[in-house]
Amino acid sequence: MENFDIKDSSLAEGGRRRIDWAEREMPVLRLIRERFTKERPLKGIRMSACLHVTTETANLAQTLHAGGADLVITASNPLSTQDDVAAALVNIYEIPTFAIKGENNVTYYKHITAALDHNPHVTMDDGADLVSTLHKERRDLLPNVMGGTEETTTGVIRLRAMAADGALKFPVIAVNDAQTKHFFDNRYGTGQSTIDGIVRATNVLLAGKIFVIAGYGWCGRGLAMRARGMGANVVVTEIDPLPALEAVMDGFRVLEMSEAAKIGDIFITLTGDLKVIEQLACHTAAN
Ligand SMILES: NC(=O)c1ccc[n+]([C@@H]2O[C@H](COP(=O)([O-])OP(=O)(O)OC[C@H]3O[C@@H](n4cnc5c(N)ncnc54)[C@H](O)[C@@H]3O)[C@@H](O)[C@H]2O)c1
């Protein structure tokens, strides 16, 4: 593979315009970039990042680049990749990027392998696929890795399990544990973007719909709040009694999935778990 894999280089100029637009909303990152340009604290550091390839990440990438980092990026989620941003990263900002919206599982892991071929000193991960692939398939790289960062709840859970088994071979900063991450990104960011995704994909009117939310954690609370604001009739399912009670106190109906499955119009899972609806729906059918 060459040192990038993207959908279409001709999208770069449109991507640049959207990256600039996003930058207006990122004043803190802009200040850090100004400091990094002068101080170059990351000079000589090779970084492999597995993140959502979006306008915001492109601004982060430019900032790390300005700090002297030798950075490559691969997508952490095939469905969130913005192809115009990937094109701008490669063609305008000269940051090797491996990301194509809708890429299949084989390409996804081929891209992760390509990012690991960069022989990183530092990893940046969102979901722990990069770090787990490194530990499983590229252990030869481990001696050079100083540490990493992990963005999301699920990735932190996976890495804590590896650490408990003595399997994690370098320190990782749990970005999700920062108050400024889960209080705001998980709750308000995911709350808004989930609604946005559903409405764009389906063009459905949310008012009056029975909107079933599985998991009343940070993301679940944010989505429930926003869905109610759109007029949806929100039902919550939870396996932990404490957040279940919190949902009741916040004014939502809390049901078991076997009950919610009978009445819901729209189902969203925000649990980090697999088959949250299917297993319970099968259970209901068996009953
Ligand atoms: N795409 C993004 O931008 C983005 C951003 C933040 C978080 N996330 C992901 O969203 C997911 C949720 O994150 P969070 O921070 O809200 O986690 P959280 O731990 O705060 O909340 C998860 C909740 O789900 C509940 N739960 C677990 N299994 C369940 C089941 N089978 N049925 C019902 N409830 C169940 C848990 O009890 C918990 O209350 C994670 O996978 C996280 O990595 C994605």
**Cβ of residue 48 lying under 6 Å from some atom of ligand 1:** no
Q: At 229, list the tokens.
A: 């604001």
CA dihedral 202, 206, 210, 215 (to 10 degrees): 80
The token duo for 158 is 């996976």
Give me the pLDDT at residue 280, please.
56
Q: 207: number of CA atoms within 13 Å, CB side?
A: 0
Task: Locate the ligand 1 atom nearest the alpha carbon of residue 272 and give its number.
Answer: 41
Ranges of residues in the chain whose predicted pLDDT is under 70:
1-2, 279-287
Cα 221 to ligand 1 centre (Å): 10
Tokens of 228: 């109610």
Q: Is 238 in the pocket of ligand 1 (CB under 6 A)?
A: yes
Q: What is the DSSP string of 179-227?
A: HHIIIIIIIIIHHHHHHHHHHHHH----TT-EEEEE--SHHHHHHHHHH
Does the CB atom of residue 244 touch ligand 1 within 6 A? no
**Token representation of residue 95:** 């940051």
Closest atom, ligand 1, to C-alpha of 280: 31
Rounded CA-CA distance 253/273 in Å is 22
The predicted pLDDT at position 278 comes to: 81
